[in-house]
Structure 1
Amino acid sequence: MPQVYAMNGGNGPQSYNQNSSFQRGAVEVAKELIKEEIDKELDVKQLSSTSVHPFRIADFGCSTGPNTFVAMKVIREALEEKLRKEGLASEVPEFQVFFNDHISNDFNTLFASLPQERHYLAAGVPGDFHKVLLPKASLHFAHSSCSLHWLSDVPKEVTDNTSPAWNKGKIHYGGAKKEVLEVYASQFAKDLESFLNARAHELVDGGLMALVIPAVLDAIRESQTTIVTEKELEVLGYCLMDLAKKVRFH
């Protein structure tokens, strides 16, 4: 079984709640684009005539909040505005939101911090989002932000000392051999295909997805990005290796 790692729970200084401003920024950046696409692409008349209520939304990789609550509010309000524009203001449906993350996610913190004025029914769906988690054709809108770049498993080749892609002592592939990059890229492609196949099973005809995936274009210099640099990852890797040695010898 692959190792499963969830974000730090609770509300302490090391928690995801207190250390997710970068992810919050991604939600804010995507906000207007999501509104535009719902307004342009979502056929509310078809959905209201062919689908049963309520309108179901899922956030895959929700962690513990509060960013997921912001995204769900944006989607719900955009749909209500679309209905008003289409002259269907009287047909605003009930909303049901499914919050998904690994089974080890701190769902207690998530549900304890749900906004009181949220205007939707909430449910937790623990499990790997690379697999089917909801019934066929039951979901209207799938959302995932800053989650899909996490791989389902470490490629076996990078831990095999007989493989050309052996990545001894490194926690990243920046500056590594092309074989290392290729096996990580292959794993990402497999994971993304699994995710899309699962959502194809769950989404209704005419449903939408909004996927926000952190990435850096090849043409952008490292110094122009706000992500952790290759050198910083290298230093962090050395620190973790030293820590692991101390733990082993003690």
Structure 2
Amino acid sequence: MGEEQQREERWRTEAYPMKGGDGMDSYANNSSYQRGGVDAAKKVIIEAVGEKLDVKSIVSSNIFRIADLGCSVGPNTFFAVESIINAVQSKWQYDQYQGGVLHDLDHHVCPEFQVFFNDHSSNDFNTLFTSLPPDRQYFAAGVAGSFYCRLFPSASLHFVHSSYAINWLSQVPKPIIDKSSAAWNKGKIHYSNSKDVVVEAYEVQYSEDMECFLHARAQEVVFGGLIALVIAGRPNGMPHSQNPQNITFELMGSCLMDMAKKGKVSEEKVDSFNIPMYLMSPQELEAAVDRNGYFRIERLEDLPNVLQLGGRPKSEVISSHWRAIMHGMMEVHFGRDVVIILDELLELFRKKLEEDLSLMDSISDTLYTFFALLKRQAME
């Protein structure tokens, strides 16, 4: 089997879309934390485009192509795309009119923009496209498929954006759902506070996925093109067990086990349920980029943590956030009774948060997000 075939086998992915629609429990109405990250990255993206993007040299057909990978259903993807386009337009105008003089009479018109919204085929693209901004400055297209594989023609993209997406693995690591494996993760739903061998299985899956992600993007992004990543992760040096988001999963797992002990859900189902999310550190991302060799990290910095409560209790906002995120994966695993299970699970989760205010504040106030800007290099 050749190298490309091996990659294809590796990125056969599982799909757990966010809760679609525009209802009260939808991701569209329960993604204020992600919106905070997108807003925080806006200033950094504007600066990065101004400093690192040579629009004229990388655009050959007067079309500037942007892809948002893991776009979900909006509206956060629309805010991110708008920021990128505004930044590119400003950079174009600055380059063309330096000192108030038009420098290139033949290329003074800003390129047109084409935006590709990508997510798994099970994503709610209907809601995404019915909610597109009517006054948008771009031509929109949907691209279904996993971003751990090739999605676009060679050297066709000028700017790639992905927000709160590459922390999701392509699949649950196989050893942790194998009862005969030393990494069998019985009684837990994540690697936080699990055996070292479980953590290692997640680390291996993350490493393989990032190899596939960067390999695919290296073929799709033009020389000089940029990749902007907003990543839910953990600070350098922080043990996995101390990461607030991992503590959230541990608490969620304890609630599921409480339900299993009461016979509300199958204990066997809980034992085989694991969340395919890995919280990387900036150092781990740097190592993955170095191994790939086709990109250079231009910026790497922490983003402020902003949780918008909208007048709602903090415990309610946090539990609603996780309902929108976990609905898809729990429906696949637990079946059509998922709504009943989620109702009880998240009520238990909310009560445990309210019983331990310091824990709730830790989970909500110290979640870690960082920004990375990668530039495609011309290889010698």
Judge same fold: TM > 0.5, yes or no. Answer: yes
> Match of 2:129?
111
> Match of 2:72?
63
Candidates 146, 163, 183, aligned match of 2:164? 146
State how far apart, in whole Å, the 1-side matches of 2:226 and 2:26 are.
31
CA contact (8 A) 2:68 2:160 kept: yes
State how far apart, in whole Å, the 2-side matches of 1:127 and 1:19 are.
24
Distance 1:82 1:227, change over 3 A: farther
State how far apart, in whole Å, the 2-side matches of 1:203 and 1:8 are.
30
> Match of 1:39?
50
State how far apart, in whole Å, the 2-side matches of 1:209 and 1:63 are.
18
CA contact (8 A) 1:8 1:14 kept: yes
Q: Which runs of 5+ in 2 are unaligned?
A: 1-11, 103-107, 268-333, 338-380
CA contact (8 A) 1:169 1:237 kept: no
State how far apart, in whole Å, the 2-side matches of 1:239 and 1:122 are.
46
Distance 1:146 1:103, change over 3 A: same
Distance 1:174 1:220, change over 3 A: closer
CA contact (8 A) 1:140 1:203 kept: yes
Q: Over alpha carbons, which structure has the higher Rg?
A: 2
Q: Indicate yes or no: 2:256 matched with 1:237.
A: yes
> Match of 2:190?
172
Distance 1:192 1:240, change over 3 A: farther
CA contact (8 A) 2:66 2:115 kept: yes
CA contact (8 A) 1:175 1:230 kept: no
CA contact (8 A) 1:57 1:95 kept: yes
Cα root mean square deviation, aligned:
2.4
CA positional deviation for 1:105:
0.5
Distance 1:222 1:191, change over 3 A: closer
CA positional deviation for 1:235:
2.4
Q: Which runs of 5+ in 1 are unaligned?
A: none
CA positional deviation for 1:168:
1.0
Candidates 225, 228, 238, aligned match of 1:210? 228
CA contact (8 A) 2:188 2:250 kept: no
CA positional deviation for 1:159:
1.0
State how far apart, in whole Å, the 2-side matches of 1:212 and 1:243 are.
37
> Match of 1:157?
175
State how far apart, in whole Å, the 2-side matches of 1:173 and 1:150 are.
14
CA positional deviation for 1:170:
1.4
String of CA shifts for 1:197-225, please: whole Å, max 9, x gaps: 11111111111000111011244898895
2:39 partner SS: helix
Structure 1 counterpart of 2:143, one-letter code: V
> Match of 1:188?
206
> Match of 1:131?
149
State how far apart, in whole Å, the 1-side matches of 2:149 and 2:57 are.
27
State how far apart, in whole Å, the 1-side matches of 2:241 and 2:180 are.
31
1:91 partner SS: coil
1:17 partner SS: helix
Give the TM-score normalised by structure 1: 0.91
CA positional deviation for 1:227:
7.2
Candidates 87, 102, 109, aligned match of 2:96? 87
Identity %: 48
State how far apart, in whole Å, the 2-side matches of 1:82 and 1:235 are.
50
Q: Indicate yes or no: 2:21 matched with 1:30.
A: no
